[in-house]
Structure 1
């Protein structure tokens, strides 16, 4: 299992687990990143922060710290 921080660009992933507790986990879930959500990794900034993704039809940028809390699995399309 890899985290969203380590995901490759131009690939689709399925969210398997959100690590963490309290406000951070709640904030990530409020953004639409929930278990079994499909995520497309669009870009990663040159220094690796932030990661730009598409989730539930909208664009979202996540800091590396937040992206490391989201465990994903590669989706074969």
Structure 2
């Protein structure tokens, strides 16, 4: 399942990444989006981009095309 497929308020665990350049992957990891980390979708912007997610108590905005490449396992 992809991070962008979560419903508002749904929690999941990041399992990995697909189709991301090394630079983007490193930036995500610096922001705390690491494998085996809990993530919660707070809300989606009215036009669908970006997504607001909470990771380790921090709220982040993630573009939908990047969220499509973050693999998660829903809880």
TM-score (norm 1): 0.90
User: Which stretches in structure 2 are left out of the alignment for 5+ residues?
Assistant: none
**Aligned Cα RMSD in Å?**
0.9
Report whether the alignment pairs 1:18 with 2:17: yes
Which ranges of 4 or more aligned residues in structure 1 deviate by more than 6 Å?
Answer: none
User: Which residue number corresponds to residue 44 of structure 1?
Assistant: 44
User: Which stretches in structure 1 are left out of the alignment for 5+ residues?
Assistant: none
TM-score (norm 2): 0.92
1:66 Cα deviation after fit: 1.3
Query: What is the aligned residue count?
Result: 74
Distance 2:23 2:72 in 1: 20
